Each structure stands twice: as C-alpha cells, then as structure tokens.
Structure 1
Amino acid sequence: MTRTPLVVAVDGPSGSGKSSVSRQVAAQLDLAYLDTGAMYRAATWRCVQRGVDLMDTALVADTVRSMVLQLDLNPRFPSFVVDGVDVGVAIRAPEISAVVSQVATNLEVRADLGERQRRVIAVERTPDGFSGGRGIVVEGRDITTVIAPDADVRLLLTASEEARLARRAREVHGTDDAAALEATREHVVDRDARDSTVVEFRTAADGVVTVDSSGLDLEQTVQAVLALVEDVAGR
C-alpha cells in the first residue's frame, strides 16, 4: 500500500539540537531533509561576498531574491550551492554566524525564502522530489507556524539555556569551559533574542508538541521524536 507523504516540522531555539535530530529522523524515516536556517546563512554569505551593506534592507532583499540556490535534500549528505559554489562549509564560518540575524530579520528576505521553502515541501509531497513522494523533515524558526502549519507532525524542540550553550560550545570550541560558554553566548542567547523580534520559536503554538532535550543525548532525543511521529502519524 502506498503511503501518503509525511511532513515533519521542527522548530526551536539555537542549540536545541534541531539540525542533528532532524537529519537523523529524516534518514531513519527515508525522508528528505531541509535545514531552513542554512538557507538564511547561504543568503547572508551571498550578501557578504558581494559587499552588500546589511543595513540596506532593500538591497539585501534584492540580492537574496536573485540568488540561485541549489539544494541536496539527502539527510546523510545535505548540501547548499549558491550561484554554482558549494557553500556548505563557508556558511558555518564565524563571520557569517555573527551577522546572519541581520539578514534573517529582514522581512522581505523572510518572505522570499519562506516561499522557496514552501515550494520544496510541496515538491516532496510528489514523486518528483528527492524522497519520491515519501515526504520531508523540515526544521528552523517559524516552520511549525508560518511555513508548514499543516505539517503532519509539528514539534518544538527545546532545551534549557545552560544545555544549549554547553552543546554549542562543545560543537564550536571542543569544550564547555567558562571561556567557551561566554564566547558562544552571542551565537545562541543573543542571536535568539534578535531573531525573536520577527518570529516566535521559543514557545509552542497550538497543536505543536514540545520535546525538551535538556537531559537527553542525541540518540535519546531522536528516539523521542521518532516515537512522537509514530504516535501522531503512525510511521
């Protein structure tokens, strides 16, 4: 029997584990995977490469609208190509992390990238998508409310501030000592504060289930999400 497409939408703050968990869930369910936060990083990279003043909101929006973005939705080997350049590594650079919120809070940019994200989800509901119509796990801010409010499974993946800071510090600096935690704060707590001025991603909207990963490791969190998918969608 052919299964209907499954869309899993994952929202949440920085350092909550959205990307790592979503990739593993998509791989285990044989679905496509889209990291929408990386789309904003790719847009930021293009603006930086072109020397665009990020305070010039109209120029930033025009630069992003003309961006040719190619996505590989394979959860095991996701990739982002901007204007023919593989930017998978470049978009994670500290200089991009430091300014991505300036692009991500640009409402015209959000409208453009939001429409692109909806098109990706729509294609993954058809045989023409990477998943062959099985569906997609899509994660990032405002996914459960603005981009895919009709997703089959909508969840807010969260964790305490302490847990999120420690995870990101270990990821970026290889340690979670006091110096690493302080160096990471700008890219977790402060970035969330800036981004929350245009989108809500720290509390669950109606119909969105919260998964708190504060006391869970990666595998335990993945299993919790898979159990939720099984409970809600029977997969």
Structure 2
Amino acid sequence: MLALRRNTLLDNHQRGRLDKINIAIDGPAGAGKSTVARKVAKELTYVYVDTGAMYRAVTWFMLGHDISSDETDRVIHAMRELHIELIPGEECQQVIVNGEDVTDYIRANHISKNVSSYAKIGPLRTKLVEMQRNIASSKGVVMDGRDIGTHVLPQAELKIFLTASVEERAIRRYQEIKDNQQVTLEQLMHDIAERDRQDEQREISPLVCAEDAIRLDTTSMNIEEVVNQIISYCRTITDGAK
C-alpha cells in the first residue's frame, strides 16, 4: 500500500553513520510541522516522512469515491485498492495515489476539514502506523504528525512538539492557499480550532505532547529559527553519543 523512494546515495551515506537518530515532530494543524521537518531532514541528510500527507491521501481517495468516514467497512475494503507513494523532493514531498500526483489536491481546505474523521478509524491508523514504523526502523528519519512521539515512535531519541496560536496558524495556512481557493481567514480560524478539538478528543491516539518532548511555541519564531533550534537539539544528542 505504501512505497517510499529513498535516494541510494543518501542511504549509503547513512549506513556509514553511527550517530543517526529518529526525530519525532508533533503538533496541531498549521503549526509548521511539515515545513520544519522537511528542512531539518534536508540539513541533516535524513529521510523526511510526512505522515499527515498519508492520511490526507487516504481522505482524498475516500472522498473521491464517495466513501464516508462513517462507513468503516467500506473504508477498510477500499484500502486494499489504495497505493500511496511518497517521493522526496527539494521543496516538498510528492504524493502519488494509484499513479496520480495528488500533492496539491490533498492540501485543499475540504481535505483538511475531513481528514480527522478518517484518521480516527482504528484499523486504518494501525495499518499506516505499521508502515511508518517500518520506514523509521533504520534510523535517520524525521517524521511529523500528531502522535509520532506518543504512539508511532515512542522511542525516538528527539521529540519536538510544535505549537502556535490559532490566529497565527490560520494566517500561515491562509498564505499557503489564498491563491488557490476562496476561503476567509475567519473560516480558517474556525476550522483549525475545530480540528484541534477533534484531534485532542479522539479516542485513538489523541493529540498530546509527549512527556519527554521539547515544546516549542513558534508564534513569534520564523522557520529558520525553529529549524536551527531543532538541529541544535539533535546535534547535542548525537555529539554526546560519540
């Protein structure tokens, strides 16, 4: 169901390292997880895995086939026909669903509004988590999501919980999508607040900050500052292990 293309030269480089760790980056919608995780991975020559893109890809597929998140049996059956491929890139991770590039489609606002309802389906999450853990088994992975440090990779050597005010997160999301669709900042603020509520209250792997995670409020920080801070934390760990 899931394939991840890894650069051969990158893999060879990593096999020669003794100080690889896994980095888990969690946080609510719009906190900048994907952008930060991708840049951290690039700087460290690690592999970046956007787990949110996996759930968005599933949501895009289900909505496109008129399969409601309430129809659990249909969702599970449809998963057998779903093949997701993640392709690392310089600026973003390309997402392919059954041979179609859906990288841009899965960021649409209607996908954001529905993804939590599919993500709470137990068997679906179990399957995706299994795949995510398999990817991280060789270390040298930066993975972002909502339950990476608490559930997917509880043994990750570095756990980061990114957060920011609802208003700031809505502004960031608005700047990302304003050229592609008609949506107001106020609507985004409402949607993000509702997404927070759903993520925090779901029964399976709710959004919480792991006890051993470093909490970073990025409301007044730019991307470079956040990336540099995380890289500093990482190097403190790897240098200390030498």
Q: Normalising by structure 1, what TM-score? A: 0.85
Q: Deviations along 1:56-107, whole A, 9 cap, x unmatched? A: 1221122224421112234644111111111111111233223212211212
State yes or no: 1:61 paired with 2:76. Answer: yes
Task: Give, in whole Å, the separation in 2 of the partners of 1:66 and 1:118.
Answer: 22
**Shift in CA distance, 73/136, structure 1 to aligned 2, threshold 3 Å:** farther
State yes or no: 1:185 paired with 2:189. Answer: yes
Within-5 A mapping of 1:6-85? 6-74=21-89, 76-85=91-100
Task: Give, in whole Å, the separation in 2 of the partners of 1:92 and 1:159.
Answer: 20
How many residue pairs get matched? 220
Per-residue deviation at 1:190?
0.8
**Shift in CA distance, 234/188, structure 1 to aligned 2, threshold 3 Å:** farther
Q: Percent identity?
A: 33
Query: Are the aligned partners of 1:21 and 1:222 in contact in 2 as well (CA < 8 Å)?
Result: yes
Within-5 A mapping of 1:1-235? 2-74=17-89, 76-122=91-137, 124-125=138-139, 135-173=140-178, 180-198=184-202, 199-201=205-207, 203-234=208-239
Task: Give, in whole Å, the separation in 2 of the partners of 1:64 and 1:234.
Answer: 42
Greater shift in the superposed pair: 106-115 or 139-148 = 106-115
Task: Give, in whole Å, the separation in 2 of the partners of 1:215 and 1:86.
Answer: 34
Q: Deviations along 1:130-180, whole A, 9 cap, x unmatched? A: xxxxx1100001000100011111111111223222222222227xxxx83
Query: Are the aligned partners of 1:33 and 1:138 in contact in 2 as well (CA < 8 Å)?
Result: yes
Q: Normalising by structure 2, what TM-score? A: 0.83
Which residue does 2:7 correspond to in 1? none
Q: Deviations along 1:6-49, whole A, 9 cap, x unmatched? A: 21100001111101111100011011101101100001111122
